[in-house]
Structure 1
Amino acid sequence: MQPLPPPPPALLRGATLLLDVDGTLIELAPRPDAVVVAPGLLDLLAAARDRVAGGVALISGRAAADVAALLPVAGIEIIGSHGLEHRAADGAITRPPRPAGLDAARAAFAAFAAAHPGVLVEDKPIGVALHYRQAPDHGPAVQSLAAAWASAEGLRLQTGKAMVELRGAGGDKGAGLRRLMAEPKRAVTRPVFMGDDDTDEPAHAAAVALGGAGVLVGARRASAARFALPDVAAVHGWLRAALAAL
Structure 2
Amino acid sequence: MASLPLAEASLFLDLDGTLAPLCDSPGDVRPLAERTSLLRLAGERLAGRLAIVSGRTIESVDAISEGACAAVAGVHGLQRRTAFGGLETTAPHPRVEHAAALMAAFAQGHPGLLVEHKDQSAALHYRGAPNAEPAVMEFVQRLAETEALEVQPGHLVMEVRTPGPDKGAAVRAFLSEVPFRGSTPIYLGDDLTDEPAFAEVAARGGVGILVGRERPTAARARLEDPSEVLAWLAESLQRGAFKLGRAFSWAA
Paired residues of 1:48 and 1:56 also in contact (CA < 8 A)? yes
The residue type equivalent to 1:145 in the other structure is F
The equivalent residue for 2:132 is: 138
The equivalent residue for 1:18 is: 12
The equivalent residue for 1:165 is: 159
Structure 1, unpaired ranges of 5+: 1-6
**Which region of structure 1 is more displaced relative to structure 2, 124-133 or 93-102?**
93-102
Paired residues of 1:14 and 1:54 also in contact (CA < 8 A)? no
1:125 Cα offset (Å): 1.6
The equivalent residue for 2:182 is: 188
Mark the CA change 1:192 to 1:99 in structure 2 (over 3 Å): closer, same or farther: same
1:119 Cα offset (Å): 0.2
* Alignment pair present for 1:107 and 2:101: yes
Match of 1:224 among 191, 207, 218: 218
* Alignment pair present for 1:240 and 2:231: no
The equivalent residue for 1:94 is: 88
1:223 is paired with a residue whose SS is coil
The equivalent residue for 1:81 is: 75
* Whole-Å separation in 2 of the counterparts to 1:15 and 1:175: 19
The residue type equivalent to 1:189 in the other structure is S
1:184 Cα offset (Å): 2.9
Match of 1:210 among 187, 197, 204: 204
2:209 is paired with a residue whose SS is strand
1:73 Cα offset (Å): 2.7
1:20 Cα offset (Å): 0.3
Identity rate, percent: 40
Paired residues of 2:36 and 2:68 also in contact (CA < 8 A)? no
Aligned residues: 240
1:57 is paired with a residue whose SS is strand
Give the TM-score normalised by structure 2.
0.90
Paired residues of 1:133 and 1:162 also in contact (CA < 8 A)? yes
Once the two structures are superposed, what CA deviation does each residue of 1:104-147 show, in whole Å capped at 9, x if it has no partner?
A: 21111010112211100001021110000000111111111111
Paired residues of 2:83 and 2:179 also in contact (CA < 8 A)? no
Give the TM-score normalised by structure 1.
0.92
The residue type equivalent to 2:158 in the other structure is V
Q: Could you list the runs of 4 or more consecutive aligned residues of structure 1 that deviate by over 3 angstroms after TM superposition? A: 7-13, 36-39, 88-93
* Whole-Å separation in 1 of the counterparts to 2:167 and 2:65: 19
Paired residues of 1:12 and 1:192 also in contact (CA < 8 A)? no
Once the two structures are superposed, what CA deviation does each residue of 1:86-114 show, in whole Å capped at 9, x if it has no partner?
A: 12345553212110211221111010112
1:40 Cα offset (Å): 0.6
* Alignment pair present for 1:71 and 2:92: no
Structure 2, unpaired ranges of 5+: 241-252
The equivalent residue for 2:112 is: 118
1:8 Cα offset (Å): 4.7
2:18 is paired with a residue whose SS is coil
Once the two structures are superposed, what CA deviation does each residue of 1:40-69 show, in whole Å capped at 9, x if it has no partner?
A: 100000011000255210000111111111
The residue type equivalent to 2:185 in the other structure is P
* Whole-Å separation in 2 of the counterparts to 1:186 and 1:90: 12
1:184 is paired with a residue whose SS is coil
